[in-house]
Structure 1
Amino acid sequence: MHVCLFLIGASGPHTPLDASALQRAASHVSGLTKLIVHEATRGQVDPRIPPSDDTPSCVLQWYFDDLAPLEAACASDGAIWRAVQTASIAQSFSQQVMAVRTLKASAESVVERCTYLVAYEGVAEDFNAWLTHYLQNHPPLMLQLPALRELEVYTRMDCTSGLPFPKSDAMQRNKVVFDDTDALMAALASSVRDAMRRDFHALPPFSGTTPHFAMRSMYGNLAHQHQ
């Protein structure tokens, strides 16, 4: 199972992110297979959920094939911190490492897409029951979303990190990915989304928020640079 480091930019005014500079700097991170740079989109794309006031300015997803190289890259003054500094990112981040369940992978190399990121930031009364229900019922519905290109589910895990950012503790995240904002909006207005909302309300008891964020996503596939 792959692992992913989320660096989640604070909401509010921020210096625009230089995604190209970050992708170039990330090419020196040993073991990094993919970096996705998400930037917040403007306006309401979801007819059922209004935009959140605390939408992250950006979200950086750093993918590795195993935990050991990720932990090495997250060391104090390690490769990821150097890449962030080299790219002159004037952002305040939080961090979380998560296990990746890839339920639908892209069949082609892409440069840019549109992503809907969801975080389950609460606490379940029985997390095993909650996760079992979720994995058995929710992804099969999400896979029916029109024009869906990618689907991933992330579960929290513990690891070491020397990055100078506070840790986030979402119990789960997921994302659905589409070609563009229009395709995302069409999927969110579909009858499949109605079924997803019904299943959401059928989840075992949990407390906390479930923010949804529409993001512009820029891809960098770095695996070939480490062969």
Structure 2
Amino acid sequence: MEACFFLLIHCDDTGKTSSPIDPSLLDAASREIQGLTRFVIHLPAESPDSAPLSKTHASSPCCALQWYFDDLGLLETALQTDGAMHGIVDRITHAAKVNLTFAQQVMAVRPFATPNPGDADHCAERCTYLVSYEGEAEDFNAWLTHYITHHPPLMAQLPGIRELEIYTRLDYRSGLSIPRATTMQRNKVVFDDPEALATALASPIRAHMKQDFNAFPPYSGPTPHFPMRSIYGNLKPT
């Protein structure tokens, strides 16, 4: 099972559909990380006025990075004080012209098949709907069992969906002196562009997903949803 490192960046001008983060800097820096197999840079998406997307909220990140590793040990090596990720956080901080706050989390990756994924290896940019369950389930085993059994088959029916991943928490070692996020679960559904995402969210499948949501085992806490512009970097294992 892959391990994914999330670096979540919030900034003073959160709420705008733009970001002070230079994606070319992140792309170049990410390619220096030993053991990294692929990465995604998420920036706030500009959504059509008619799209039923969540409005940009004060808690929306101005950038979210995902770094994927086949081995947790390689990820932990990159996270140590003298590792590559420590330098990347410093470079992001020094390059930005606004105050930034960071959070880190490592999660297990649970991918699910979609009917028409396209060629992800040659994909440069897509549109992602990032979801996080930031509270706690009363019985996480019951929650995850229900969720994995019932919800991905519905999400995979969304028209135009290209990718579907669900993430759950992992314990990990890190030398980064930034706060740790403790989000219980994250989801990612990916489409070609904001218009395709808007079409999917307006489809009848959403009503079935809402019915299943209402049947989830007890959970309390926020569940923010953010449309993001996603820039891909696909690497050969080192």
RMSD: 1.9
Residue 10 of structure 2: aligned partner: 10
Q: Structure 2: any 5+ residue segments left out of the alignment?
A: none
1:215 equivalent to 2:228? Answer yes
User: Within 5 Å, which residues of 2 pair with 1:141-160?
Assistant: 141-160=154-173
Question: Aligned partners of 1:22, 1:42: CA distance in 2, in Å?
Answer: 20
- Aligned amino acid, residue 5 of structure 2: L
Note the C-alpha offset of 1:128.
Answer: 0.2
1:194 equivalent to 2:199? Answer no
Residue 79 of structure 1: aligned partner: 84
Q: Residue 178 and residue 200 in structure 1: after superposition, are their counterparts in 2 closer, same or farther (change >3 A)?
A: same
The partner residue of 2:64 within 47, 56, 59 is: 59
Note the C-alpha offset of 1:104.
Answer: 2.9
Matched-pair contact (CA < 8 Å) for 1:100–1:153:
yes
Residue 31 of structure 1: aligned partner: 35
- Aligned amino acid, residue 127 of structure 2: C
Matched-pair contact (CA < 8 Å) for 1:22–1:84:
no
Describe the SS at the equivalent of 2:230. Answer: strand
> Kindly, what percent of the aligned residue pairs are identical?
52
Superimposed CA distance per residue, residues 107-134 of structure 1 (whole angstroms, 9 cap, x where no aligned partner): 4120000000000011111000000000
If the length of structure 2 is used for normalisation, what is the TM-score? Answer: 0.88
If the length of structure 1 is used for normalisation, what is the TM-score? Answer: 0.92
Question: Aligned partners of 1:53, 1:66: CA distance in 2, in Å?
Answer: 34
Q: Kindly tell me the number of residue pairs found equivalent between the two proteins.
A: 225
- Aligned amino acid, residue 102 of structure 1: P
1:99 equivalent to 2:111? Answer no
Q: Residue 17 and residue 51 in structure 1: after superposition, are their counterparts in 2 closer, same or farther (change >3 A)?
A: closer
Matched-pair contact (CA < 8 Å) for 1:94–1:168:
yes
Matched-pair contact (CA < 8 Å) for 2:109–2:165:
yes
Q: Residue 17 and residue 48 in structure 1: after superposition, are their counterparts in 2 closer, same or farther (change >3 A)?
A: closer
1:179 equivalent to 2:192? Answer yes
Q: Residue 113 and residue 45 in structure 1: after superposition, are their counterparts in 2 closer, same or farther (change >3 A)?
A: farther
1:120 equivalent to 2:133? Answer yes
Q: Structure 1: any 5+ residue segments left out of the alignment?
A: none
Question: Aligned partners of 2:11, 2:50: CA distance in 1, in Å?
Answer: 18
- Aligned amino acid, residue 137 of structure 1: H
Note the C-alpha offset of 1:89.
Answer: 4.7
